[in-house]
Amino acid sequence: MSANHLMGVYNRAPLEVDRGLGARLWAKDGTEYLDCVSGISTNALGHAHPVLVQAVKDQAEKLWHVSNIFKIPGQEELADDLCAKSFADVVFFTNSGTEAMECALKTARRYHFANGAPERIDIFGFDGSFHGRTYGAINAAANPSYTEGFGPPMQGFHQLVWGDKEALEAAFRSPTTCAVVLEPVQGEGGCRVTPDEYLRWMRQMADETGVLLIFDEVQCGMGRTGKLWAHEWAGIEPDIMAIAKALGGGFPVGACLATTKAASGMTVGVHGSTFGGNPLAMAVGKAAFGELSKPETIANVNEIAGYLKQQLHGLKERFPDIIVDVRGKGLLIGLKLVPNNREFMGLARDEQQLLVAGGGDNCVRILPPLNLSLDEAQEAIRRLEAACEIARTKLAT
């Protein structure tokens, strides 16, 4: 494979993956890996899950694409299922997380526009957040490393310090505020968990001020935290929510979910997509969401997460020179490291055939499939422990 004709935007690991099954990946040279990245929270049912494989095969023989000018097979059923199992009344299907976020941001602004307050355009996000790479998404997260060089900041987007309640209250109370957007559990930013109490207060403030609450559950939703939606832990609901990643189990599917009220400005012609909600994506999405939302899938997340958390705290005690914090929720786990996280990831990969993801704040993320077995979880801990031992000598700071 030559990288010469690929745009150089990725810092890729020197590993060419050939095939996968469950929580295993095999490189072209035959080396077997335990996959605790899952396509960054995407292959939530593992690789080549038989139900998903069958769904792709069956649909591929019938119909791939028509256009949203027609009724698309599967869209209404998947939307029904998503709404039955969430706060939402309506759904717009996309191909990715960033498109789901784009729709969420546009839905929020159109809501105020359609309800006689076009001046309410201000959208507040938080440091450490990640919402994708479209202009709307990079401006909503306002992380300088993603916005630099892409022109002036988009009007009406503001970043707050995560946890600065005073600043957030002022934002809620401003008459031009449209929406507040956050990941209930930050993914890329290093697995920071927004406390339940804080989320409940945000809901209260939003209700009081008419500001819309947008949750980005692209990474933390669909069972990953041990509830179907991460916000369920706080017992509150957003007005609008972006999801993607696990929704297609590895096939590109995203969605923007909203209440009828929040979506009241999204009328004919104001938004659209050629591929969003195509028949193949809907067939796989229905199959994947069906599996992900099963009580036994969610129960497995909690069981395996409980085991991993306990073991990881043990490793932190034994390797305080390597691991300084264990954070996250469910199977969205962050380990804040002393040695450089990228070097540690490389070491775990090359010396222990364990794949983990990077994250902000010098974290590595452990994002196994939600159906990981206890045996596989034990194996992950053994490999991680061995990686910590090696890191002690090789990555001494």
The residues binding ligand PLP (CB under 6 A) are: 40, 96-98, 101, 130-132, 183, 187-188, 216, 218-219, 244
Q: How far is the CB of 220 from ligand PLP (least distance, A)?
A: 7
Q: How far is the CB of 295 from ligand PLP (least distance, A)?
A: 25
The residue among 218 and 322 lying less far from ligand PLP, judged by its C-beta, is: 218
Quick one: CA dihedral 362, 367, 373, 376, positive or negative? Answer: negative
d(CA 243, CA 223): 12
The residue among 100 and 263 lying less far from ligand PLP, judged by its C-beta, is: 100
Closest Cα partner for 157 from 95, 209, 111, 102? 102
Element of type H or E holding 284: helix 279-292
Q: How far is the CB of 248 from ligand PLP (least distance, A)?
A: 10
Residue 388: Cβ-neighbour burial (10 angstroms; 0-12, 13-18, 19+): buried
294-295-300-306 Cα dihedral, nearest 10 degrees: 140
Q: Which two tokens stand for residue 119?
A: 């001046």
Q: In the bound complex, which residue of the shown chain has the CB atom lying closest to ligand PLP?
A: 97
The residue among 86 and 352 lying less far from ligand PLP, judged by its C-beta, is: 86
Q: How far is the CB of 222 from ligand PLP (least distance, A)?
A: 12
The DSSP line for 123-167 is: EEEETT----SSHHHHHHH--HHHHTTS-SPPTTEEEE-TT-HHH
The residue among 74 and 136 lying less far from ligand PLP, judged by its C-beta, is: 136
The residue among 59 and 98 lying less far from ligand PLP, judged by its C-beta, is: 98
Q: How far is the CB of 382 from ligand PLP (least distance, A)?
A: 28
State whether residue 42 is helix, strand or coil. coil
Element of type H or E holding 38: helix 38-41
The residue among 185 and 315 lying less far from ligand PLP, judged by its C-beta, is: 185
Q: How far is the CB of 87 from ligand PLP (least distance, A)?
A: 18
